[in-house]
Amino acid sequence: MIERIIAVFRESSRSFEGQGKGEEVVLLLRKHPFIALVPVSTISFFALVPVLVFLIFYSAVVSSSYFGLILFLATVYYMALWLFAFYYLAMYTLNTVVVTNKRIIERTQNGFFDRQVSELHIYRIQDITVLVKGIMPTTLHYGDILVQTAASEKEFIFRQIPHPEEVKNAIMKAVSMANAGVKPASEAVNN
Amino acid sequence: MQAAFNLVMALLYLVFWGATFVIFYHLTRFGIGVQPKRFAAAFFLGSVVLFGISLVFAARFDFNSLFS
């Protein structure tokens, strides 16, 4: 029983809502972790503020009759920071691009009550462009992937995806396999 | 005054657990793969610990000492 619970955090069937019969997940993509690191490190900086204030004004704080209140307010402050940190982490982890053997599904979560789901049938893909622009994307190996369908249709842009070259190759492989009627194997580029 | 403080504290905790539920629900309900589940577990455990610490400090805090 305990092993089954722990297994949830180790392995996943990578199933998703609306998955069709015989539809297999080839790739599960998220933005580069660096994108989540920016707000989380800002919040971590704010977490240091009470510690610094405490260290600087140690004698005044400890001898104050407000000491108990200060400690309580500090915990409330940390509770708020905790919520903000996980709000950003949730937004990061819920923004996904799922490549299956039949389609590509992009889920964009802009807030708790603002979700957009776009999908594109894999046989409609005509060409894929990888865009790596800037010092950070080049150094950390992330970039945008532009998926072009028939000329008049919408262009899909998956932003800040890690290792975009590998992802592009995996999508192209899935496209050619789908066209040939072969099921592609699942690849673990990003969990 | 003590009653007002307790009421504010209760409201704060209510908002905290409400927000915790919304984040936890989104991570477990809409997350795909292992990462959201790990985040949800860490988040829930951290929330319980923080709430516990906060509750201990709130219980130890003597409201009347502010006016003495």
- Contacts for B38 with CB less than 8 Å, ≥ 6 apart: A9
pLDDT over threshold 90, residue A4:
no
Q: Which strands make up the sheet holding A25-29, listed edge to edge? A: A25-29, A96-100, A103-111, A114-121
Classify the complex by whether its ipTM is higher than 0.85, answering yes or no. yes
Q: Is A3 buried (19+), middle (13-18) or exposed (0-12) by CB count in 10 A?
A: exposed
Q: What is the pLDDT of residue A185?
A: 61
Query: Is A82 touching B (CB cutoff 8 A)?
Result: yes
What whole-number distance in Å separates Cα of residue A104 and Cα of residue B55?
47
* Mutation site, B35, B53, B60, interface A, largest A CB count within 10 A: B35
A89-98, A117-126, B25-34, range with the lowest pLDDT:
A117-126
Look up residue A8 and give its two tokens: 């949830």
Q: What is the pLDDT of residue A177?
A: 86
For residue A79, give its domain range: 38-89
Q: What is the mean pLDDT of residues A92-115?
A: 92
- Does residue A16 belong to any structural domain of this protein? no
Q: What is the pLDDT of residue A189?
A: 47
Indicate the helix (H) or strand (E) that contains A177: helix A164-180
Q: What is the mean pLDDT of residues A111-130?
A: 90
Q: What is the pLDDT of residue B21?
A: 97
Q: Which of A66, A83, A109 sits opposite B66 (nearest CB)?
A: A66
Look up residue A145 and give its two tokens: 């992937």
* Mutation site, B9, B25, B32, interface A, largest A CB count within 10 A: B32
Question: Which residues share a beta bridge with A109?
Answer: A115
pLDDT over threshold 80, residue A1:
no
What whole-number distance in Å separates Cα of residue A136 and Cα of residue A40?
18
State in Å, rounded, how far the first CA of chain A is from the last one.
24
Question: What sign for the dihedral angle of Cα A158, A159, A161, A165?
Answer: positive
Look up residue B45 and give its two tokens: 């455990």
Quick one: pLDDT band at residue B38, thresholds 50, 70, 90?
A: very high
- Does residue A134 belong to any structural domain of this protein? no
| Tens-digit pLDDT profile for residues A19-50 | 888 888 889 999 999 999 999 999 999 999 99
- Does residue A127 belong to any structural domain of this protein? no
Q: What is the pLDDT of residue A183?
A: 62
Summary mean pLDDT of chain A: 87
Residue at A152: amino acid letter: S
Residues of A in contact with B37 (CB under 8 A): 8-9, 12
pLDDT over threshold 80, residue A153:
no
Nearest to A72 by CA among B47, B31, B9, B68: B9
Number of domains in chain A: 1
- Does residue A146 belong to any structural domain of this protein? no
Would you say A148 and A127 are in contact if contact means Cβ atoms under 8 Å apart? yes
Q: What is the pLDDT of residue A126?
A: 86
Q: What is the pLDDT of residue A12?
A: 63
Residues of B in contact with A9 (CB under 8 A): 34, 37-38, 41
Q: What is the pLDDT of residue A67?
A: 86
Q: Is A31 buried (19+), middle (13-18) or exposed (0-12) by CB count in 10 A?
A: buried
Backbone angles phi, psi at A34, to 5 degrees: -60, -35
Query: Is B61 touching A (CB cutoff 8 A)?
Result: yes
Å from B8 to nearest chain A CA? 12
Query: Is B44 touching A (CB cutoff 8 A)?
Result: no
Percent of chain A at pLDDT exceeding 90: 55
- Does residue A161 belong to any structural domain of this protein? no
Higher pLDDT among residues A157 and A182, named by residue = A157
Higher pLDDT among residues A9 and A22, named by residue = A22
Percent of chain A at pLDDT exceeding 70: 87
Question: Which residues share a beta bridge with A142?
Answer: A162
Q: For chain A, what percentages of helix, strand and coil (3-state, to nearest 5) are there?
A: 45, 25, 30
